[in-house]
Homo-oligomer: A and B are copies of this chain.
């Protein structure tokens, strides 16, 4: 009586529809129907429910996914899942996803372009229904990968205008760093500041480049000349902000510092306070991203909100919407920036003579 392999009847592992059906004395189709709330006679219904309860039946999500060709899972890929900006984004996405019955998978890419491309290509394995990705640098490889992606993707961050558009539309949600920087500069100028330094992150990143351009444009718009000596570049972190600010202070006497994000701004604040500067009396300080850090520092940090949570929420909604309507035209949403004025820049000073375009210093 030895059998070559386990047969259906052998009840090992967890109960399946088969187990339930057998126990209830009905077909697996009937069992499945009842379990999915489809029509069945009262009697069948009762028997199946009873059987299911008695063995503690729980449907297998993987099998269901295979059949349904959907995983009810979304993925989020960002450089660093510990960065406050991405944390805010992730939180918003998780919330939207959970509310819609989707689970969220997170990937830390470490800003490795190859890894990001691999991830995008990996979507072909269909282990998630959609992806939100926020690449800090966008390479040609990203673009070609996006153009051939078989799964809905939303890119958070700016994409080149001439990006090749693939068979599948890619939605895009952006921050408006350019306007954001303009708001900050206008505010500082209004407060009487003229020597407005800028501590930025790497220029070869999407946000770094946008903020740099915005800074130059904003100065010009306010009739100020850009002094290269007032510009420092590091990475987007705290320590870099501190060091850049130290270098700046060794050399210059800025009356305001605009930082490309809050992490940098917090570092700058340390350097300023450690150097005995009063904030905002001596030097006004403005960050960007308006993360939780802004209101946790002392003095509280003015910051330009680029709507990270908002961008996350919108990205998730666009993704869900595209899941429902795969062919609708690609959307591009830009979230408006908002300047949050707090103590670090609230203090206006008397305007001091400062070089303006067209004047000789």
Binding site for B on A (CB under 8 A): 14, 56, 58-63, 65-66, 71, 73, 75, 80-82, 87-88, 90-91, 94-95, 98, 103-108, 121, 124-127, 150, 238, 266, 269-270, 273, 292-293, 295-298
Contact = CB atoms under 8 A, between A and B. Distances in A.
Contacts of A82: 87-88, 90-91, 292
Contacts of A298: 269-270, 273, 297-298
Contact of A71 (B62, B106, B125): B62
Given A58-B124, A66-B66, A90 B95 contact: no
A59 B238 contact: no
A101 B297 CA distance: 38
A94 B90 CA distance: 14
Contacts of A58: 121, 124-125
Nearest to A15: B124
Given A82-B87, A150-B14, A293-B296, A62 B126 contact: yes
B66 A63 contact: yes
10 contacts: A58-B125, A60-B66, A73-B105, A75-B103, A81-B87, A82-B292, A98-B108, A104-B107, A238-B295, A297-B298
Given A103-B105, A103-B107, A296-B296, 14 more contacts: A58-B121, A62-B127, A65-B127, A66-B66, A81-B91, A82-B88, A82-B90, A82-B292, A104-B106, A238-B295, A269-B298, A270-B298, A297-B297, A298-B298
